[in-house]
Structure 1
Amino acid sequence: MTPRVSVIVPVYNEGEAILRCLERMLREMLLPAEVLIVHDMPEDTTVPYVEQVARTDPRVRAVLNTYGRGPANAIRFGIDAALAPVVVVTMADGCDDPRQIDELARLVDRGVVVAAASRYMPGGQQVGGPRLKRMMSRWAGRSLYTFARVGTRDATNSFKAYDTAFVREVGIESRTGFEIGLELTAKANRLRLPVAEIPTIWLDRPLGESHFDLGRFLPGYLRWYFFAYGRRLSRAALAARAAGSRSVPPPRAPHDSTEYEKTA
């Protein structure tokens, strides 16, 4: 059966912890789905556990990213490998609510190109996480919603569903961090395509420590924050931008597990 939704999960040495993430996800999803666990290297400690699950659940498969190291390239590769008309990007750290994967996918089925899980709309909440990161993402989300009218109060959250054809048409230019969520929201806004949101409760990861590197990731977020404002663009113009970005080799990112933690 062809899946209706492809779930993209970038990982880096999650090891046995991925089992809990997959168990919750597979239990909660009702739509026909595939779950792509995207890793950067064959020896990633996540892979044996994913293969263990895949032996009993054909929805799951481990996918080796060949686009370059880091979460942005893993997400790009996962979307290109997806079989479904809708893709949902979520993390392996347990912060996102897997019960909402189907709900986000159904919004895309109804015609939006980006469906966001929003911490900052009525009914949403963020529990835990670094204070500075919370303040900055809340300010960015609310200002983009109010002044750029992007359609969501949480443009920086990575937990989103996308129309697969839309993403492949406009392309992804981001190569570091998790600014892809903001990039695709900004592009949808400049095309004047519909974006929707549902409230979500984001819970800080129970294990590990966040290492948000403001200096490293802020330039990418600012680029797409300001891009969201402006006149309407054509699909051809955005596709040409993405084609230009693909001609530049991606930077070689270090194998650092902290890069795989949410950065907004």
Structure 2
Amino acid sequence: MTHASTPADFLQVAGKRFLVMGVANKKSVAYKIAVQLQQAGAEVLFSVRSEQRRESLAKLLANDRILVCDVEVPEQIEQLAATLAEDAVPLAGFVHSIAFADYSEGIKPFHETNRTAFLQAMDISCFSLTAVCNALKNVFAPDASVVTIGISTTRMASESYGYMAPIKAALESSLAFLTKSFSRFSKVRFNAVSAGLLKTSASAGIPGYVDAYLYAEQVIPRGEAITTDEVASTATFLLSPRSSGITAQGIVVDAGMSTNYFDANVIQKVMDAP
């Protein structure tokens, strides 16, 4: 029996170029996605927010090209697009894995959310996807795939996540509108990986997050939390032509957590608590 392709090129990304935005360290979802793409033969470029971040990643990404773009500065987004356009190499995909919220004052009740902090988080965590994609519209391949990182549910009022869930809801809603507007001149796809609670350096800085993470492990049927590799694998699939029929979707990767909130053992622990 003959096969049209080998396991090495199953994803059909070999030789194609991808831009990954949001690597902080080797634990980052963005980094795990980049590694999987490179293992499949793709070329990966990186974009980070500052020269300091580029310097801190110099060892981890020693053989890779790292560009600087602070998404809060429109001119830097335009410069990123101009730099990539000069290469005359189309982007087969773009990973948007950036989020920021100022929790310096701790987690407050949602109705006490600080306006300035909320709008900054919205700009960086949500609007930046639209801003960067608009700037890159002439750099994308006609059938490019864009993937952002969302959360498994934006309807669960997790006190440890502060005001970021409504912002992530806006991020995921924008996928449909980006898909529609880009469809006027391309076949670019926009999707999200809606991840369950992850053990990353970014999440570790959220007040109360560790306890929520440990609770999630109790609720997940398999008794083990989601890993960054699992989230990255879904993102890599969405970036590949193998997922060509999927767009404007948030793919939930939570190992079944949302199906198991009423687990008998978890209920018993709550009822037995003093």
TM-score normalised by structure 2 residue count: 0.36
TM-score normalised by structure 1 residue count: 0.37
